[in-house]
Amino acid sequence: MSKSKMLAAPPPLVIDDTNISRAWARLLLRVLDGAGTEVAPLVLSLSGFAPDGIIAEDPAVRQALDRLLKHKGRLAVDDVAFTIFPQRLWQMSRGDRTRLFTLYRATFPRWQAMNRKANGRGLYFERMIMYGRGPCDGNQLEWILSQFDSRMGVRRSMLQATTFDPGRDHIASAQLGFPCLQQVSFEPTAAGLVTNAFYATQQIFDKAYGNYLGLAQLGAFMAHEMGMPLARLNVMVGVAKLERITKSDPDFAPLVAAAHALVTPPGAAVAQPVIAAVTAGAAL
C-alpha cells in the first residue's frame, strides 16, 4: 500500500470519570452507538476515590449488568474482580497483608478448581504473588511494598508487577483467554497513589467492569500498605471489544436503559436504542 493510501490510526478513546459505573456505561454506549464492535485504543481513568479507596458506583447499572451476566452464564462483576484482587480475603485478613497472602496461597487450588477450564492457566492475583520465580518467593506485591518501605527514593520503575510470562504465555493457540492484563504499575505522587494497568485486549461485556473494580481494589490495597490515599486508576487497553453478545440482543435493553439514564444529563434527548425494549430473560 502506498503512503498516500495508508489510513491514519484512530485516536484513543479517553474516558475520565469519578464513577466506575458511569465510566463503563460510557464505553458500552460508545460501542453500541457506533460502527463496529471495537475501540482501539482505550484509555480509561478513574479518580474521586473515598479515603478508604472505595469508588462510586451506580446500583441500577451494576445490578442490570449482573442480571444480564447471570442470564448469559457469565461471571458476576465481583467474581471477575476477585481474579485481580481477593477483596473478601483482604477483609477477612483485617489489614494484615501477610495473612492475606497466606490465605490466598492456601485457598488458590480451590478457586482454580471451581472453573478449571477458565482458570487452568492461573489467575491475575496468583501471578502477582505466586509468579514462580523472583524475590520474595515470587510475591511481586510483597517485593514492591518491602522495597518501598525500606528506604526513601526507591526508583519508580521498581514498583511494577507483571502477569504476562513469555515462558508460559507465548504459545501458538488460536485463542488464549488468559492473561489479557499484562502489567500493573504503582506511582506514588503528592496527591496519593496512581495505579496503572495495561491490557492487550479487553472484553467490554463480561470482563471490563469487573476488571476496573478489581484494579481499583488492588490499588486501594497497595495505597493502604504504602500509607497514602488512592488518587487515580489508569487503564490502558490496546483493543476493547464487545464479544459474546450482539448489539441487537434484546436482553441488552434494561442494561442499555440504565446506562443511558446514568450517562445522559437530565432533560437531554436520549437516542433510541439499537435494540428492542424487552425485559431481560429470567435468571438462571
Query: Please, what are the domains in the chain?
Result: 13-263 (3.30.572.10)
Q: What are phi and psi of 10, to 5 degrees?
A: -65, 145
**pLDDT of res. 273:** 43
Report the alpha-carbon distance of residue 99 to residue 106 in Å, rounded. 10
Q: What tens digit of pLDDT does each residue of 198-214 get?
A: 999 999 999 999 999 99
Quote the percentage of the chain above a pLDDT of 90.
69
**pLDDT of res. 276:** 34
Tell me the three cell numbers of residue 45: 481513568
Tell me the three cell numbers of residue 109: 487450588
**In the predicted model, what is the mean pLDDT of the chain?**
87
Residue predicted with more confidence, 221 or 275: 221
Asked whether the predicted pLDDT for residue 151 surpasses 50, the reply is: yes
**pLDDT of res. 280:** 31
Report the alpha-carbon distance of residue 185 to residue 165 in Å, rounded. 16
**76 within 8 A of 47, measured Cβ to Cβ:** no
Asked whether the predicted pLDDT for residue 281 surpasses 60, the reply is: no
Q: What tens digit of pLDDT does each residue of 63-96 get?
A: 999 999 999 999 999 999 999 999 999 999 999 9
Mean pLDDT of 99-106: 96
Give first-to-last CA distance, the chain, whole Å.
51
Report the alpha-carbon distance of residue 237 to residue 133 in Å, rounded. 27
Does residue 117 come out as left (phi exceeding 0), alpha (psi in the -120 to 50 range) or beta? alpha
**pLDDT of res. 117:** 65
**204 within 8 A of 28, measured Cβ to Cβ:** yes
Q: What tens digit of pLDDT does each residue of 13-67 get?
A: 999 999 999 999 999 999 999 989 999 999 999 999 999 999 999 999 999 999 9
Q: What tens digit of pLDDT does each residue of 106-136 get?
A: 998 887 777 766 665 678 899 999 988 888 8
Strands (E), the chain: 13-17, 38-39, 42-47, 160-162, 181-189, 192-203, 230-241
Report the alpha-carbon distance of residue 166 to residue 131 in Å, rounded. 12
**pLDDT of res. 203:** 96
Q: What is the DSSP letter of 197?
A: E
